[in-house]
Amino acid sequence: MTTRILFATRFYEGDLADDALLDELAEAALDLSREDKAGRAWCRDHAYPGYTSYASLNDLPIRNPVFDDLRRVLDRHVRRFCDEAFLDLVGKKPKLDSLWANVMKGTGGHHSGHIHPHSIVSGTIYLRVPQGAAGLKLEDPRLGLMMAAPLRRADAPEDARSFVYAEPKPGAIFLWESWLRHEVPAGRAKSERISLSFNYR
């Protein structure tokens, strides 16, 4: 008798490994949070707990060269992830489609469960992660189809759980296929969590 594990979901964890670039990116994100009036207004109108440039700015790599430096680093990580996920891109290189800054409130800052339509790979790079900041919560993509299935036991291995939590640190790069539902639970940090999120097509 054998039991096989089928339909595995890949989740990639990399590292920027460049402290100077990390600091520049964090300062650039904070500058955006102060200067982007349209973004601040959108966050206020939609009760977003902090700041995001998601709905206001779509040209960060052109706006500031430090974001383009990051794009070149991300390109390499995304190509590696696509290869490890066996994605058949037929000679096409994945291309950065959108990049946005997130400056999330330390206490209570959260982002509800969602996916990223019209993309193939999504991800986040973490710039500042204070103690008490929430990680990334990943949801089993089959969850909505399980109907009468019982809950998983507390001793279930990671690949059998309904939810997996990825704990970031500064410089961490997380990548996943864009259909994977994820969220950021409410944090309890005393300072802001700063990250950049992105989509590739």
Using CA atoms, how far apart are residues 66 and 24, in angstroms rounded to an integer? 7
Q: What is the pTM of this model?
A: 0.95
The edge-to-edge listing of strands for the beta sheet with 11-15 is 11-15, 172-177, 121-128, 193-200, 96-104, 50-52
CA of residue 35 relative to chain centroid, distance? 23
- Provide the 10 A C-beta neighbour count for residue 30: 17
Share of the chain above pLDDT 90, in %: 93
Position 90 pLDDT exceeds 90: no
Q: Could you report the per-residue pLDDT of 12-40, keeping only the tens digit for each?
A: 999 999 999 999 999 999 999 999 999 99
Contact (Cβ atoms closer than 8 angstroms) between residue 173 and residue 77: yes
Position 91 pLDDT exceeds 90: no
- For residue 83 the two structure tokens come to 């290869």
Position 186 pLDDT exceeds 90: yes
Residue type, 147: M
- For residue 13 the two structure tokens come to 């964890």
